[in-house]
Amino acid sequence: MESILMNKLVTLYRTEDGVPYDIDWNIFRASRDMALDATDVHMLTDKFQALTEEQQESITNFRQWLRDAPANYDSANEACDNWPPAEDWW
């Protein structure tokens, strides 16, 4: 599972032996909401317009994936397994 920590995506929810925890939708949604909050600043008109077209597309697609994930995956674990990687510039 990926989640936001200090504005960077990091792996969380792993046991000490590296086996992932089962994730439920509440945990997924909390992590998703943190990711949306952390990327909100880039959606402000002046910030968004300062991004390259590639960056605009990347962050727009990432945020759309976050919003659509609960409808597109059967389980929170499956959604977590497919969480998109963060861009270095976020």
Could you give phi then psi for residue 9, rounded to 5 degrees? -80, 130
The model scores a pTM over 0.95: no
Q: Would you list the domain boundaries of the chain?
A: 2-81
The pLDDT tens digits of the residues spanning 10-64 come to 455 566 777 767 888 998 999 999 999 999 999 999 999 999 999 999 999 999 9
